[in-house]
């Protein structure tokens, strides 16, 4: 069970979970603002390779500053826990939105352009996403979409994250 605080973040609620972490709504007590806290599960945090992969993701995304990429504000380790603090979006994933039905052509084009602009900015910094799916695109309706979850990102200059079985590599 995760402690109610991690570093200077107070955990409020679980927002979701995936292969590389659990995401919580959290209060940044030093800045008095809410954000999302992605925490590497304890079984993975004890694996040095997984910890390094998680840290590489945080560092890769921290190099990127673009309105179409979910921003990472902080990275930390505390008593066996490893976490990344990110901006909090109140919307949904593109996958969740598509479950409601097809998007109008204009909206689909708008999202596609936003995704491409974010990925182009990442590529300009030598970061390749490699796992782009509707589940890794966040939308909230008021702001541009954000591409998230660079967990299997590769660095174009040969410092690729380790491949997981069953995933495709896109050089």
List active site positions: 131
Can you tell me the distance from the alpha carbon of 149 to that of 142, in angstroms, rounded to the nearest whole number? 21
Nearest Cα to Cα of residue 90 among 35, 40, 148: 35
Can you tell me the distance from the alpha carbon of 103 to that of 114, in angstroms, rounded to the nearest whole number? 15
Query: What spatial distance separates the first Cα and last Cα of the chain, rounded to whole Å?
Result: 38
154: CB partners within 8 A, 6+ apart:
127, 128, 130, 160, 161, 169, 170, 171
């Amino acid at each position: 069970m995760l402690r109610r605080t991690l570093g200077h973040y107070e955990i409020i609620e679980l927002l979701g979970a995936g292969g590389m972490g659990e995401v919580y709504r959290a209060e940044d007590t030093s800045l008095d603002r809410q954000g999302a806290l992605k925490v590497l599960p304890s079984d993975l945090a004890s694996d040095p390779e997984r910890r390094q992969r998680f840290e590489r993701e945080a560092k890769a995304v921290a190099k990127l500053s673009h309105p179409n990429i979910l921003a990472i504000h902080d990275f930390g380790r505390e008593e066996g826990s490893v976490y990344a603090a990110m901006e909090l979006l109140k919307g949904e994933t593109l996958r969740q939105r598509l479950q409601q039905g097809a998007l109008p052509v204009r909206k689909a084009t708008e999202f596609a352009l936003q995704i491409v602009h974010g990925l182009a900015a990442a590529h300009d910094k030598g970061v390749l996403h490699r796992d782009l799916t509707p589940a890794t695109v966040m939308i909230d309706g008021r702001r541009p979409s954000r591409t998230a979850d660079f967990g299997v990102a590769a660095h174009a200059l040969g410092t690729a994250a380790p491949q997981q079985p069953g995933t495709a590599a896109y050089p």
